Amino acid sequence: MTDPDPMTAASRRYLIAGAVVVALVAGGIAAYFSTDSGAREGRKGAKGPPAVPVTVALVAQETVPIELRAIGNVEAYSTVALKARVDGQIVEVNFREGQPVRKGDVLFRIDPRPYAAALRQAEANALRDAAARDQARSQEKRYQELLDKNFISKEAYAQIRTNAATAEATASASQAALENARLNLEYCTIPSPLDGYVGRVLLQAGNLAKANDVNPLLVINQVRPVYVNFAVPEQNLPEVRKYMAAGPLRVEVLPTDAGQKRVEGKLIFIDNAVDPTTATIRLRAQFDNVDAALWPGQFVNVSVRLHEQADALIVPSQAVQSGPDGQYVYIVGTDMLAELRRITVQRTDGERAIVAKGLAKGERVVTRGQLRLGPGVRVQISKTPAEPA
């Protein structure tokens, strides 16, 4: 069966083909304009890599002290190992372990009764011998008169004179024994020989104390004032001697936490020889230690101030970087671009670095974010630096 309307069928085919062509052309135009618009948008948004956020600090200029730092050991000004001077039983211990004591405070008492009895006996012997001496003197005087009148021989007088001299010596010996007995009785009371702090009791009440025993009864440390011993490298010896000759050098014990304060003293001693095993020289400082902040045996951080350096350039230590060519910092200029600057660090003082050359007062140095920087990299300051003093 044939199509009754062939023209109509052909028209439909042409219409369908035309519609397809129009759709393809419209899709191509839309894709072109879409791609072109995206490209334009891409070109419009492309402005280079983003700025690197950094923290900066200003280069400060101020007067800073030139110091030597070391680790020191606190030593008692005086240490006394208290020992008994007579034998006997300890009957009293008049202190608590660790408490402060004053010079003259009675710490121990040894049973005094045997020594009191010995004293009474010595007193009696001294009186007896003194009486015999006086009798011998009187007899010598009478025999001297008889000799002057030739009533006795010289041999008889010599015997009387010898007896008198013997009585004199015996009386002197008795007097010495009496004084010794008094001392022994005094030694039964053991006072503190200095102001200080007592340690642990090594012999309790009831024990027998022996005179000059190897082990002491007690150890007392004087901590007001107190010494701090430390050592510095031998290279610093000429500086220390130079500035110490001009006047006493101030020594400080640095605090270990924020709640403490510095303790000040003065350098009083330089050893007379360098230790060849460590290449250091031993120094000693003295501190008044009024509040007993320093304790014998304690390890402390010590700083010796030699002199003061005026107009020193200071940056935070964390700003200083090290590379193959030496130390450097990154500077942020007014154009907000990073600049690598070679510097020479004279020394480091805690969290501060003193710069000898390479920087000027007021320049901005990067303290954080250096790892992402390079010369000419744009930066963004995330923290405003404080104004210079």
Q: What is the pLDDT of residues 146-171, one digit of tens each?
A: 888 888 888 888 988 999 999 999 99
Question: How far from each other are the two terminal CA atoms of the chain, in whole angstroms?
Answer: 108
**Residue 19 pLDDT:** 59
Instruction: State the Cα–Cα distance between residues 344 and 327, nearest whole angstrom.
Output: 7
Q: Any idea which of 40-54, 191-205, 243-257, 367-381 has the lowest mean pLDDT?
A: 40-54
* Mean pLDDT value across residues 15-21: 58
CA distance 188 to 35: 112
Domain boundaries in the chain? 54-65+311-383, 68-74+220-310, 85-108+190-215, 113-186
Q: Is the pLDDT of residue 262 over 90?
A: no
Higher pLDDT, 97 or 12: 97
CA distance 195 to 226: 12
Looking at domain 54-65+311-383, its CATH architecture is Beta Barrel (2.40)
Burial of 78 (0-12, 13-18, 19+ CB in 10 A): middle
Would you call 232 helix, strand, or coil by DSSP?
A: strand
* Tokens encoding 248: 């006493």
Q: CATH assignment of 113-186, given 1.10.287.470, 1.10.3720.10, 1.20.120.920, 3.40.30.10?
A: 1.10.287.470
Regarding the domain delimited by 85-108+190-215, which CATH topology (the fold level of the hierarchy) does it fall under? OB fold (Dihydrolipoamide Acetyltransferase, E2P) (2.40.50)
Q: What angle do CA 274, 276, 279 make, to 5 degrees?
A: 70
Mean pLDDT of 48-64: 88
The lowest-confidence range among 16-20, 202-206, 215-219, 335-339 is: 16-20
Which CATH code, of 1.10.10.10, 2.40.30.160, 1.10.260.40, 2.40.30.170, is assigned to 68-74+220-310? 2.40.30.170
3-state helix, strand, coil in the chain (%, to 5): 35, 40, 30
In degrees, to the nearest 5, what angle opens at C-alpha 381 toward C-alphas 379 and 382?
130
Confidence (pTM): 0.68
